Amino acid sequence: MDSQRKVNSDPRRTLPSVDRLIGQVRDSSPELAEWAVLRAARDVLASIRDQISEEKLKFTGSDADLARLEGRVAGEAARLAAPHPRPVINATGVLLHTNLGRAPLSPVAAEAVARAVDGYSNLELDLDTGRRGSRMGSLEAKLLALSGAEAAHVVNNNAAAVLLALNTLGLGREAIVSRGELVEIGGSFRVPAIMERSGVRLAEIGTTNRTHLHDYENAIGPDTGLLLKVHRSNFEQRGFVAEADVGELARVAHARDLPLVEDLGSGTLLDLGPHGLPDEAFAPARLALGVDVICFSGDKLLGGPQAGILMGRRDLIDAMKKNPLARALRVDKLTVAALDATLDLMLDPARSNEVPTIAGLRAGAAELEPRAARLLELVNAVVEREASESGWKARVAQSEAAVGGGSLPEHRLPGLAVVLEGGGVQALAEGLRAAPMPVLTRVRDEALWLDVRTLRDADLEPAALALSHALGETATPAE
């Protein structure tokens, strides 16, 4: 019989303790925040233990293994402690890129936000009387001037606007809506689920692809609280399809003394039809067709901060303002300041292009061609300096991009891009994301596209610097 005790050969025993690992990382990287190193060490060790248990990783405790472990913890700690969100350069061509924060604010709006947080403000104070005032007074006046609506209200996003409208106008009753408009939006949120949380019962009518006016008429009953129309903001239906005309739907609603509510998803207060935007994007035109209440996002086609904008009949909007939910959904002073400044620019035709989204939607060859030429010049200089033997070639090409942000899915923005071909495209895209100033691009047809529609003139040189960084990391000689 073997009298020696068997040694526990569990490879997890070769892992260092949390305290030892923290000490080693802090010694090698003293600039890292203590809390981040602690969190990273615990998370990384837990992950590695699981991988060892599942036999997905071998860890022997060698110097090389320990060095890799310390490097992984240091990298994770740096990621945790990094400021968020970070500025990035958007060269994707997608104006309202949800992952990149949708609409960038104008300099004027950014300055207004900075003023609002630098000390105190008269957010809810009437300076003439010294008494409590309304945080919405200025916003509502400007929204009415731009839209011609009777009344307006602002909440913290468009989902909140839908929630408030339905809860106020249809609590405990039915909201009639087409099956073809029960959409799912970003982050797996489904509009029907949001609607049901408002306390209404959805009365679904029609079919996925065809809903007629008579479907609404036949569904109206004693429990009907409102008719609801939802814009299919992130997809289009084609082929054998039908939907009720909004003007006719408004007449049906009014004949039965019911409100018609339309969720536009995204809308603009400027008529951009001459620049190719469809009619349904222009919010005031929907009110003119007889819609009683419309709602849409502030950070999409409007080009302002995240917000949900409601406008329409005064009695209906006033009822929403009195709803207790309005307090839970109200906007803060930063949103008020940013939206107020954005609306100011829209009210001045000579300055509306200072809103980046508006300028991006309107941009034509006169703006895009010089920008593309300058970017090509900068890119060629970088390629020649950093990767002259790599085989990379740059050229200007016609480009086409989506508006993005769940807005106008079928509308395309023709423009120009600088295209890089001839090397490891995916590696270069990764290198651009890892640059000190990250640059986001499109990868298509085995080429990297830098679309100038979403690049400001001030972005061109920083984008070239990022390319220099990325090529220095990824460029390899051509075979």
364-374 pLDDT, tens per residue? 999 999 999 99
pLDDT at 386: 82
Q: Which amino acid is at 291?
A: V
Burial of residue 311, with CB atoms counted within 10 A of its CB: 0-12 exposed, 13-18 middle, 19 or more buried: buried
- Does the pLDDT value for residue 235 go beyond 60? no
**How does DSSP assign 303-328, residue by residue?**
-SSS-EEEEE-HHHHHHHHHSTHHHH
For 166, counting Cβ atoms within 10 Å of its Cβ (0-12 exposed, 13-18 middle, 19+ buried), the class is buried
Does residue 121 sit in helix, strand or coil?
coil
Q: What is the pLDDT of residue 238?
A: 67
> Is residue 3's pLDDT more than 50?
no
- Domains of the chain from N-terminus onward: 12-81 (no CATH), 89-97+361-474 (3.90.1150.180), 145-330 (3.40.640.10)
How confident is the model over 271-276, as a mean pLDDT? 87
- 274-301: buried (b, 16+ CB within 10 Å) or exposed (e) per residue? eeebeebbbbbbbbebbbbbbbbbbbbb
pLDDT at 207: 86
Rounded CA-CA distance 446/408 in Å is 27
What pLDDT shows up at residue 273? 86
Rounded average pLDDT over 284-297: 96
Q: What is the pLDDT of residues 10-33, one digit of tens each?
A: 767 778 888 999 999 999 999 999
pLDDT at 236: 64
Q: What is the pLDDT of residues 36-61, one digit of tens each?
A: 999 999 999 998 888 888 777 777 77
* Peptide bond between residue 85 and the one before it cis (omega within 30 degrees of 0): yes
pLDDT for the residue numbered 189:
65
Give pTM, 2 decimals.
Answer: 0.88
Q: Which residues, 6 or more positions from 130, have their beta carbon under 8 angstroms from its beta carbon?
A: none
**What percent of the chain lies above the pLDDT cut of 90?**
71
Asked which of 207-216, 238-247, 265-274, 338-347 is least confident by mean pLDDT, the reply is 238-247
> What is the model's pLDDT at position 479?
38
Statement: residue 68 has pLDDT above 50: yes
